[in-house]
Amino acid sequence: AGLSAASGNAKVLLDWNNSTSPDLAGYNIYRSTTSGSGFAKINTSQHTRSDYNDTTVTNGTTYYYVVTTLDAVPVESEYSNQASATPTATPAAPQNLMVPPMAYDDTSLILIWSKPVDYSGVTDYNVYQDGSPLGLSGRFDTTRPKLYYIVTGLTANTAYNFTVKSVLSGGGESEASNVCSVTTANTPAVLYPESYGAVADGETKDTAAIQAAIDACPAGGKVHLQSGKTFLSGAIFVKSNMTLQIDGTLLGSDDPADYPYTSLRFPYYASGNNYMGLVNAYHNHNDPDSAGKPYGTITNVRICGSGVINGCYGYDASNPHTVTSLTTLGDAEVDLHGDTSRGDLVTIKGIDNVYVGGWGGPLTLVYPAEHTIFISYCNGVTVSNVNCDTWDIHNGDGINLCTSDTAYIFNSYFDTGDDCINMNAGQAQPGVDEDVPVQNVRVFNCTTERGHGGYVIGSFTAAWVQDSLIEDCVFSTTDGKGIRMKTGFNNGGGGRRITCRDIKITGVANEGIFLDSHYSATGYPNAGPGQFSGNIFKNININANGDSIFIYGLSGTPHTQNIFENITGNNRAYLRFCTDSTFVNVNVPSWTVDANNCSGNTSSGSPGCPFIPLSTSVIIQENESGFCGTDGTIYTTYEGYTGTGYCRIPLAIGKGINWSISVPSDGTYTFKWRYAFLSGSRPGRLLINDSEVVPNIDFPATGTWTNWQRVSQEVSLTAGVNNIRLESTTTGGLANIDYVMVTGDSPEPASCP
């Protein structure tokens, strides 16, 4: 079941893989203080989520847990794997301390970590080097601490051990995280383009000189474009095991002839080639050295510095295409090969382990012909400390991360002409067939200003965007949306298992959280509709001119099984073709819901939400909490019962069984009895708090005493304790009763009167 346990202050947080069984009714959670034995059930009602917060624990004690699944019969599974945790009064330690791919050199490195499972009281993080404190991570904004730390002043080729601790508002610290052991790089050989003929005056083309320096760079070496200098260049191509450090300005030529027309974003790209970018780390299938080889023949690349990558001279005021917001270079490329031919500013394709970002200061990227940073078919990506300033550039996405695995995007700023941070998983049936998803991506501590969306999925969704975490960001996309997930009726795939949490969405022109299936169709073979499912949106504050939440799926392919929790928005929630989703503590002024195509949704603590309250179930067996006795006897004669037996009632009128249930709110609850009897008729009546509420409940004969069936009855309960009695109305008595299941808004067994 993939059970895991994490400790907090007087609590243990459990998580496990959700069962895919169509007959799943819920879970039971068992706990012991002895490994491997002595387990006792701790959930008082049948649990339906794949997580559990155990708050009945004592700090300092180690607890061992297993879970089981229950089907509708209910038949209980064997125990899951065992997981253990020790709750502690100190805050939980940060997790997964690491140096992301290529985020180090000979004298410095970047540490990142994950928040502890329970981070509610954490206000900062303290970083330690070889046991000595380096300092606090500091604040990302007024409420969120940074989740990274830049370490400087290190010695080349030296081993270091780092840890990080959570800091509480009162100043206490957690235990240390895992130890991150790192050895810095050797002191690199540094090559300067001036040594190969570069003039660096911003007017003379230095393309050949820069490329010559790159070609001559030894493994582990660095090509350095120094501060205070401007290098005019066409396309340049980095190689494995090197650093291109830009502390000056790399200025792109505005002549398309300086950029090979050989870039191919996807192998099946119908629109043909694109121009190469200004800076390229590119696996070229047409190159004899890589033809026929898989991606990843180029490895370990850094494109970094504190300077500027400028796509070209900028705009030409006399340009007839100014209204389409094309740069001088972009316009020239369009004139030659059309709008879709434009190149990207930085093109990275098929690379294992690549870093793009600031080093010693932010790396600024401006004036791309199209996208700013386009990354595809890569494994192990770090983008950090970049300033993407491309406002009003047509298609000027900040980052376009495509068909890649394991990426970290953080400590960056975006003010763009299109989507700020975009995930792209290929188009329609060719993308489905290729089956290269975008996955295992973490985005944190980023700020977006103008742009069509802050964090964006799609519209290319064919191979899925999945298993990713977006957290602790501020999205102020004043001409767009905050979280934008878009797909179409023939795009295929979609977005799944994405968690967006602890996010501020402010001043956006349109929607705050946007899930939509009506984006324009692709020209590729139909892969069916895209869909957004199984995603979590949690702890998000929204101030938007449009809807706070907008969900619009398709008939037959709704957006489904998404969770919205602790959301505050200034405008309404709008839902069409949204199913089986959960809304917990969602506070918006109003809800507009198409009841014809929004089924199976549940809610809790969400004022005005039209969906039924979150339902949980409790099964009460004989001699368990909530079972208050019977006028008959508990038997075990006939097989197929659950628990310790079943109730056999005397053959007389008015004989029955008593239970006691506590519910938190007035509402409708469903009672379901599991029963069996041979033949004839054995109806019953239902009393609540001594008042008859259902005069006749039919229990049809099951044909044999071992053929157990179920019968249901909806009833209204009032908040508080409800004493329940089922009793016979004929001299034939009741059927044999195995258990009662009560489903509704958090029912629990109560003490008997």
Sign for the pseudo-dihedral over CA of 513, 516, 519, 522: positive
The winner for highest mean pLDDT among 268-282, 311-325, 449-463 is 449-463
> Which pLDDT belongs to residue 323?
42
Instruction: Give the span between the Cα atoms of 620 and 13, in whole angstroms.
Output: 25
Clarify whether residues 600 and 629 are in a common domain: no
Residue 496 within any structural domain of the chain: yes
pLDDT at 321 over 60: no
CATH code of 107's domain:
2.60.40.10
- CATH code of the domain containing 539: 2.160.20.10
Residues 114 and 28 in one domain: no
Per DSSP bridges, beta strands 122-129 and 109-114 are unpaired
Q: What local confidence, expressed as pLDDT, does residue 343 receive?
A: 93
- Please answer whether residues 253 and 329 qualify as being in contact, where contact means their C-beta atoms are separated by less than 8 angstroms: yes
CATH code of 660's domain: 2.60.120.260
Tell me: do 644 and 507 sit in the same domain. Answer: no
Q: Which of 586, 612, 638 is the last residue of a domain?
A: 612
Percent of the chain's residues with pLDDT above 90: 70
Does the structure show a pLDDT above 60 at 584? Answer: yes
Q: Tell me, yes or no, whether 44 and 103 share the same domain.
A: no
Domain boundaries, position 605: 418-612
3-state secondary structure of 453: strand
Please report, for residues 644, 653, 681, 707, 728, the alpha-carbon distance to residue 676 in angstroms, rounded to integers and kept in the order given: 16, 18, 12, 6, 15
pLDDT computed for residue 525 by the predictor: 87
Q: What is the mean pLDDT of residues 510-527?
A: 91
157: left (phi over 0), alpha (psi -120 to 50) or beta: left
- pLDDT over 90 (residue 524): no
* pLDDT tens track for 638-658: 887 777 789 999 999 999 999
Query: 322 pLDDT band (50/70/90 cuts)?
Result: very low
- pLDDT band at residue 90, thresholds of 50, 70 and 90? low
pLDDT tens figures, 129-158: 999 999 999 988 878 899 999 999 999 999
Kindly report the pTM of this predicted structure: 0.78
pLDDT tens digits for 203-237?
999 999 999 999 999 999 999 999 999 999 999 99
- Give the whole-angstrom CA distance, residue 552 versus residue 729: 51
| Residue 391: other Cβ atoms inside 10 A | 17
Arithmetic mean of pLDDT, 324-335: 84
One domain, residues 603 and 690? no
**Domain closes at, from 612, 642, 665:** 612
Is the domain of 74 the same as that of 106?
no
Q: For residue 434, is it within any domain?
A: yes
Percent above pLDDT 70 for the chain? 96
Mean pLDDT of all residues in 298-325: 77
Q: For 177-186, write each residue's pLDDT tens digit.
A: 999 999 999 9
Per-residue confidence at 170, pLDDT binned at 50, 70, 90? low
The answer as to whether 323 is a domain residue is no
Confidence of residue 120 (pLDDT cuts 50, 70, 90): confident
Q: What is the pLDDT of residue 288?
A: 57
> Do 630 and 589 sit in the same domain of this protein?
no
The count of structural domains within the chain is 4
582 and 706 part of one domain: no
User: What's the chain's average pLDDT?
Assistant: 91
Q: Considering 577, 612, 647, which residue would you say is the last residue of a domain? A: 612
pLDDT exceeds 70 at position 700:
yes
Does the pLDDT value for residue 342 go beyond 80?
yes
pLDDT tens-digit map of 439-473: 999 999 999 999 999 999 999 999 999 999 999 99
**pLDDT for 613 beyond 80:** no
